[in-house]
Amino acid sequence: MRVIKCIKCGTEVKTTSGNRKYCDKCVKETDKQHTNNFRKINREKVNKEGIERYYKKREIIIEKTKQRRLRQPLESKIRSETYRKYDSERTGICSLCKEKRRTDFHHISYKPNVFIEVCRSCHKNIHFGNIKIGKELCE
């Protein structure tokens, strides 16, 4: 172990490193000074780059959203019109168990839109595979 004198403050420091020139306190101070100087010099550059990056990402997100909206409007219009049509014809009687309950519509086919009106428990059973729907219900 060697003893060196700090270049900045003159205190003696024990070290195993051969090229150490500062004590721990002075190392922290100089690091802090270098960091602050770097921040002052580069603040404008960093801010400008950050703002540019933000707006670039924002433009990409907006463009992707526009593309997604352009793909879907016709399908969603058709689907919502179909739901409105079926909603006006809602009877409240399940097509499967024939009981009068709160009902949902279940898609049998998407092209063309074919629904059946089923109670919630039957709807759940259809999705779990406990009830198989035959083609006679489609007509």
Q: What is the dihedral of CA 45, 51, 52, 57, to 10 degrees?
A: 140
Domain spans in the chain, listed from the N-terminal domain onward: 2-71, 91-138
- E-strand stretches of 11-102: 12-15
Long-range contacts of 79-87 (CB under 8 A, 24+ apart): 79/113, 82/113, 82/115, 86/115, 86/117
In the beta sheet, which residues pair with residue 118?
104
* pTM: predicted TM-score of the whole model, two decimal places: 0.39
Which one of 21-25, 48-52, 127-131 scores highest in mean pLDDT?
127-131
pLDDT in tens, 83-137: 677 777 778 899 889 999 888 888 887 666 677 889 999 999 988 888 888 655 5
